[in-house]
Chain A
Amino acid sequence: MTVTAGSKLEKILKSGQKAVTCECGPPRGADAEHFRHKAQYLKNCADAVNVTDNQTAVVRFCSMAACRILMDMGIEPVMQMVTRDMNRIALQSNVLGAAALGIKNLLCLTGDHHTFGDHPQSKNVHDLDSVQLLDCVRRMRDEGKMISGTEVEGRPAMFIGAAANPFADPFEFRVVRLAKKIKAGAQFIQTQCIYDMERFGKFIEMANDMGLTEKCYILAGITPFKSVGMANYMKKFVPGIIVPDEYITRLKGVPKDKVAEEGIKIAVEQIQQCLEMKGVAGIHLMAIEWEEKAPEILEKAGLLPRPQVD
């Protein structure tokens, strides 16, 4: 794989070292200070920080602005883009704008359905899906063409990523869809939160067998449990997430003031288990509204300090 965007994330992955990305969601308002505060915790522990794009279909300040704030703080962003809210005109425009700002990592997603968000009465777009967006960005970068065939003046140098959920159904199709995303343009993958290690293990094994882990870098998605309530919520209400009972039993088995600590312990174990699997190129830590714990988790998992690349 030749260097395409030259982002830190791309360089670390290409060097063969395990990469670490974290997630930082913009707030539901224009409070940049709050965002900066959360991001500060991630500065020295992530190679790049994902900025979500109106995650769970709830309005927040936009991903591109948040990426710019991160860059001003010396943090490399991974800009997330969903196809839910923009048609191909707006999507391509945003890819070009992001590249013009110097954003070098782009995660292409379809996005959570808008009926789960705070504006369920809105009109959704879905002109493209995530696979088509991947293809579109790759084409703009490598062929210098927009979807329409129009020449791009100044190709967007992007390291292109996608998501994968090994826990959705039909299970045997998940790797086929992963292969499809790679064909379309995905160079790195950040997975859905992993709790069911056995199923993730099978997924990675299938990806290895199909040669997919040689064609793209898979970062295992980890979300630490903050509480028993959160674990139960994830298990019962978040589609496409499998939470084995043993974790809930463990969290319930410790005194109330030790639950968070146990959650961190579990996350550290999960990170180590994932990193032992052949084909896992790094970790994507999504400490949702718990960014301040990211350094501790990554330190305990032996992933700090982060490597330096030119």
Chain B
Amino acid sequence: MVVAESKPIGEILEMIKDCKKVLVAGCKGCVTVCNSGGEKEVGILASELRIARKTSGNDLEVLEYTCERQCDPEYIEPLDDLVKEVDAVVSIACSVGPQYIAARYPYLPVYPGLNTVFIGGSVEHGVFKEYCQACGSCIIGDFGGLCPVARCAKQLMNGPCGGSSGGKCEVGRGEIDCVWHLIYERLKNLGQLHKLEEPWGYKNWATSREAGPRTMIREELRK
């Protein structure tokens, strides 16, 4: 899923400081799963904003709505009536959401209430880790199913580097697993260590963001 986290409340307050009425729009997709932008978080953020502004003697009216998703135009539609009343929208979807809202309402300010951090998953309750960088041509089949692009700090295709110590990466003060150590152990388990004996060639980054914003077209769905 896309993993996102709340922006500091002060940053959101600063963005909407000139507004009298805003809509906080959540999303029932990924950000609900990672507990940062679902119905519950919409309620919490709305209350926080109201209280903060009340305390500063500058009341703010806050509407609340949680979209089925914010990454499909039809699910933005339900906001049509609500946005007529507000000065701005604070979207707490991943950063796709505010951009869909901006596209639908050309004259309405929209602000992100979250920082979108990565494509990943939870490893235990409340802990999320990055697993993918959406490079556009998956190579993990060569590496025991583990991704060096997303999970190696240096994106090595021929690791582990000299900074791998006791299974940990030198980056991150011992908090990050050395994915190359994991790749090594996994290929050993699979009896495929020979895969690491040949230099891994050049990665084609043209499928990645490097070639500009990407569009995926599924002709069979388009008809």
Q: Do A and B interact?
A: yes
Q: State the Cβ distance, A149 to closest chain B Cβ, in Å.
A: 11
| CB–CB A184/B154 < 8 A | no
| CB–CB B164/A184 < 8 A | no
- Interface residues of A, Cβ cutoff 8 Å to B: 84, 88, 110, 112-113, 115-116, 124, 126-132, 134-136, 147, 163-165, 167-170, 173, 176-177, 179-180, 183-184, 192, 239-240
CB-CB nearest in chain B for A183: B199
Among candidates A129, A163, A170, residue contacting B156 with C-beta atoms closer than 8 Å: A129
Q: State the Cβ distance, B168 to closest chain A Cβ, in Å.
A: 9
| CB–CB A132/B201 < 8 A | yes
Query: Once bound together, how far apart are the Cα atoms of A179 and B158, in whole Å?
Result: 12
B205 within 8 A of A: yes
Which B residues lie within 8 Å of A192 (CB)? 162
- Interface residues of B, Cβ cutoff 8 Å to A: 153-167, 170-171, 178, 181, 184-185, 193, 196-203, 205
Q: State the Cβ distance, A54 to closest chain B Cβ, in Å.
A: 15
Apart from A113-B154, A165-B162, 16 more pairs, CB < 8 Å: A131-B200, A132-B200, A134-B199, A163-B162, A168-B163, A168-B165, A169-B178, A169-B181, A170-B160, A173-B160, A179-B197, A180-B199, A192-B162, A239-B165, A240-B164, A240-B165
CB-CB nearest in chain A for B158: A131
| CB–CB B199/A131 < 8 A | yes
| CB–CB B162/A184 < 8 A | no
Q: State the Cβ distance, B130 to closest chain A Cβ, in Å.
A: 15
Query: Once bound together, how far apart are the Cα atoms of A180 and B126, in whole Å?
Result: 40
Query: Once bound together, how far apart are the Cα atoms of A64 and B103, in whole Å?
Result: 48
Given the contacts A180-B158, A239-B170, A113 and B163 also touching, CB distance less than 8 Å:
yes
Among candidates B161, B181, B199, residue contacting A110 with C-beta atoms closer than 8 Å: B161
14 of the cross-chain contacts (CB-CB < 8 Å) are A84-B154, A113-B154, A115-B171, A124-B154, A129-B159, A131-B199, A132-B200, A168-B163, A168-B164, A168-B165, A169-B178, A170-B184, A170-B185, A180-B199
Inter-chain contact total with CB atoms closer than 8 Å: 96
| CB–CB A176/B197 < 8 A | yes
| CB–CB B200/A170 < 8 A | no
| CB–CB B160/A113 < 8 A | no
Q: State the Cβ distance, A95 to closest chain B Cβ, in Å.
A: 15
| CB–CB B165/A129 < 8 A | no
Given the contacts A115-B171, A176-B196, A240-B163, A170 and B157 also touching, CB distance less than 8 Å:
no
| CB–CB B196/A110 < 8 A | no
Given the contacts A131-B199, A179-B197, A169 and B166 also touching, CB distance less than 8 Å:
yes
Query: Once bound together, how far apart are the Cα atoms of A179 and B156, in whole Å?
Result: 17
Which A residues lie within 8 Å of B153 (CB)? 113, 115
| CB–CB B197/A239 < 8 A | no
Which B residues lie within 8 Å of A134 (CB)? 199
| CB–CB B181/A128 < 8 A | no
Query: Once bound together, how far apart are the Cα atoms of A115 and B169, in whole Å?
Result: 12
Query: Once bound together, how far apart are the Cα atoms of A169 and B170, in whole Å?
Result: 11
| CB–CB A239/B163 < 8 A | yes
Among candidates B155, B158, B171, B205, residue contacting A130 with C-beta atoms closer than 8 Å: B158
Which A residues lie within 8 Å of B154 (CB)? 84, 110, 113, 124, 126, 129
| CB–CB B171/A147 < 8 A | no
| CB–CB A169/B164 < 8 A | yes
| CB–CB A129/B158 < 8 A | yes
Which A residues lie within 8 Å of B165 (CB)? 168-169, 239-240
Which A residues lie within 8 Å of B160 (CB)? 168-170, 173, 177
| CB–CB B170/A240 < 8 A | yes
| CB–CB A170/B199 < 8 A | no
| CB–CB A180/B197 < 8 A | yes
Which A residues lie within 8 Å of B162 (CB)? 163-165, 167-168, 192, 239-240
Among candidates B184, B199, B205, residue contacting A184 with C-beta atoms closer than 8 Å: B199
Query: Once bound together, how far apart are the Cα atoms of A115 and B172, in whole Å?
Result: 9
Which B residues lie within 8 Å of A184 (CB)? 158, 199
Which A residues lie within 8 Å of B201 (CB)? 132, 135
Which A residues lie within 8 Å of B156 (CB)? 110, 126, 129
Query: Once bound together, how far apart are the Cα atoms of A130 and B163, in whole Å?
Result: 14
Query: Once bound together, how far apart are the Cα atoms of A183 and B161, in whole Å?
Result: 17
Which A residues lie within 8 Å of B198 (CB)? 180, 183
- Which of B165, B199, B201 gathers the greatest number of chain A CB atoms within 10 Å? B199
Q: State the Cβ distance, B47 to closest chain A Cβ, in Å.
A: 34
Which B residues lie within 8 Å of A112 (CB)? 163
Which B residues lie within 8 Å of A115 (CB)? 153, 171
Which A residues lie within 8 Å of B171 (CB)? 113, 115-116
CB-CB nearest in chain A for B171: A113
Query: Once bound together, how far apart are the Cα atoms of A126 and B135, in whole Å?
Result: 13
Which A residues lie within 8 Å of B181 (CB)? 169-170
Q: State the Cβ distance, B209 to closest chain A Cβ, in Å.
A: 12
